[in-house]
């Protein structure tokens, strides 16, 4: 199979990023087969369909996602719709025998994530999920260092996903703020990334105790489809899910940690990252300085420095992008890696990168945080 027909369902921010990523795979991974061929793009908004044809060269577009799944030339689909459609579209895609690259959080709750995962398993299709921060070469390096024991046994770790996209009180009440369309708020949106990254780097989460809050109770209704960064002037309506969440976490290894996520954190623009401490060292990473891993190893224990390592070729997929260390990669590059892993999964018949099972784990973790907030007690996973 030298090429594979691809469909993209939902042409907002993530639909554009997925489309661009497919197109860029042959630039960065020229030997990877099958190479993606953009066949059908679906969105109810006509301007977005026209834009997708013009920019990315899809062979055809459709107003309805069902047409993408009915297209015999489409063998793999990206599901980049608002979260309420993930389960319906994802299950239907699996039943139609399409391989699935789906955005996080998969569905509005763990039950919806599990429904898509079960359907993919039953259909024998490959899947991957948009936990893109795993793909940063510096994160891959952190994982290697931890696994090889360079920081000793992990003792405690902090993961943060702090954003200001909804900090403006007149920030538009987009689909992200309603239970019917989004399910949870920042728990699904940003905490799902934190939970996945924590599990990827430190291991299984076994228990959480959490708190959450909604600081902006009402927001103006937008006139039509809008970005979640946009402001609006319409009538105020209630925000139905949480703006902020945090938890203490216990890991199966005995390590302890904290996870915090916010969409209303004034002065935090995509402040995502972690600090992981072990008995002999530490690693720390900030998404906004993607190519830098801060590392402390050795036997000094006290007064030791955290040195900056610029990741380079040989670390993760860095070599597919740049020839020497210290040349900045970007968010969209992480999606090119995700697309490449998705295509590798299809050719190998085995997963590369995060799968729907990982999405179920993340959804169970965020559900446990919500339960803990309501009960005021530790919740076991």
Number of residues that bind ligand NAD (CB under 6 A): 24
Indicate whether 301 belongs to the interface with ligand NAD (CB under 6 A). Answer: no
Cα–Cα separations (whole angstroms), residue 212 to 186, 242, 341, 373: 9, 6, 34, 7
Segment (H or E) for 181: helix 179-182
Torsion angles phi and psi, residue 161, rounded to 5: -135, 85
Q: Rounded to the nearest whole angstrom, what is the least distance from the CB of residue 302 to ligand NAD in the complex?
A: 38
CA of residue 232 relative to chain centroid, distance? 27
Interface residues for ligand NAD in 311-350 (CB under 6 A)? Answer: none
E strands within the chain? 3-9, 35-42, 60-62, 76-79, 99-102, 127-129, 154-162, 205-213, 218-220, 236-238, 244-251, 256-262, 271-278, 282-286, 292-296, 307-310, 379-380
Query: Among 65, 251, 272, 373, which residue sits at the site for ligand NAD (rule: CB under 6 A)?
Result: 65
Interface residues for ligand NAD in 166-185 (CB under 6 A)? Answer: none
Q: Identify which range of 7-15, 165-173, 275-283, 301-309 contacts ligand NAD by CB under 6 A.
A: 7-15
CA distance 128 to 357: 9
Q: Is the peptide bond preceding residue 204 cis, with omega within 30 degrees of 0? A: no
Query: Among 130, 257, 278, 281, which residue sits at the site for ligand NAD (rule: CB under 6 A)?
Result: 130
Query: Among 19, 80, 128, 241, which residue sits at the site for ligand NAD (rule: CB under 6 A)?
Result: 80
Q: Identify which range of 42-50, 203-211, 242-250, 315-323 contacts ligand NAD by CB under 6 A.
A: 42-50
Indicate whether 82 belongs to the interface with ligand NAD (CB under 6 A). Answer: yes
Indicate whether 7 belongs to the interface with ligand NAD (CB under 6 A). Answer: no
Indicate whether 146 belongs to the interface with ligand NAD (CB under 6 A). Answer: no
- Build a one-symbol-per-residue string for 220-249: x at contacts with ligand NAD by CB under 6 A, - elsewhere: -----x------------------------
DSSP class of residue 8?
E
CA distance 36 to 26: 8
Binding site for ligand NAD (CB under 6 A): 9-15, 42-45, 48, 65, 80-83, 85, 103-104, 130, 132, 189, 225
């Amino acid at each position: 199979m030298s090429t594979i027909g691809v469909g993209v369902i939902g042409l907002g921010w993530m639909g554009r990023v997925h489309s661009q990523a497919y197109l860029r795979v042959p630039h960065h991974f020229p030997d990877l087969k099958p190479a993606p061929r953009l066949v059908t793009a679906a969105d109810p908004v006509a301007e977005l369909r026209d834009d997708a044809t013009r920019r990315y060269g899809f062979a055809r577009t459709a107003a309805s996602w069902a047409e993408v799944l009915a297209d015999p030339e489409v063998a793999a689909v990206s599901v980049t719709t608002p979260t309420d459609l993930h389960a319906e579209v994802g299950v239907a895609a699996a039943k139609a025998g399409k391989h699935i690259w789906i955005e996080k959080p998969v569905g509005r709750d763990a039950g919806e994530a599990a429904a898509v995962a079960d359907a993919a398993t039953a259909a024998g299709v490959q899947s991957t999920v948009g936990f893109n921060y795993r793909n940063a070469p510096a994160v891959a390096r952190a994982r290697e260092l931890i696994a090889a024991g360079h920081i000793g046994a992990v003792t405690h770790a902090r993961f943060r996903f702090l954003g200001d996209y909804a900090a403006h009180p007149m920030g538009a009440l987009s689909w992200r703020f309603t239970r019917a369309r989004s399910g949870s708020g920042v728990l699904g949106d940003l905490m799902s990334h934190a939970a996945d990254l924590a599990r990827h780097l430190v291991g299984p989460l076994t228990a959480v105790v959490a708190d959450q809050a909604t600081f902006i109770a009402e927001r103006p209704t937008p006139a039509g489809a809008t970005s979640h960064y946009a402001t609006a002037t319409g009538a105020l309506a209630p925000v139905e899910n949480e703006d902020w969440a945090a938890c203490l976490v216990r890991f199966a290894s005995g390590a302890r940690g904290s996870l915090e996520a916010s969409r209303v954190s004034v002065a935090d623009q995509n402040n995502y990252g972690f600090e992981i401490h072990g008995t002999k060292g530490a690693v720390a990473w900030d998404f906004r300085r993607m190519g830098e891993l801060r590392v402390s190893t050795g036997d000094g224990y006290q007064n030791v420095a955290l040195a900056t390592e610029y990741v380079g070729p040989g670390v993760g997929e860095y070599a597919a992008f740049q020839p020497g260390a210290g040349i900045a990669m970007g968010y969209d590059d992480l999606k090119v890696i995700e697309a490449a892993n998705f295509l590798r999964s299809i050719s190998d018949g085995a997963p590369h990168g995060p799968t729907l099972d990982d999405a179920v784990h993340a959804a169970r973790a965020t559900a446990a945080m919500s339960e803990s907030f309501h009960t005021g007690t530790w919740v076991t996973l």
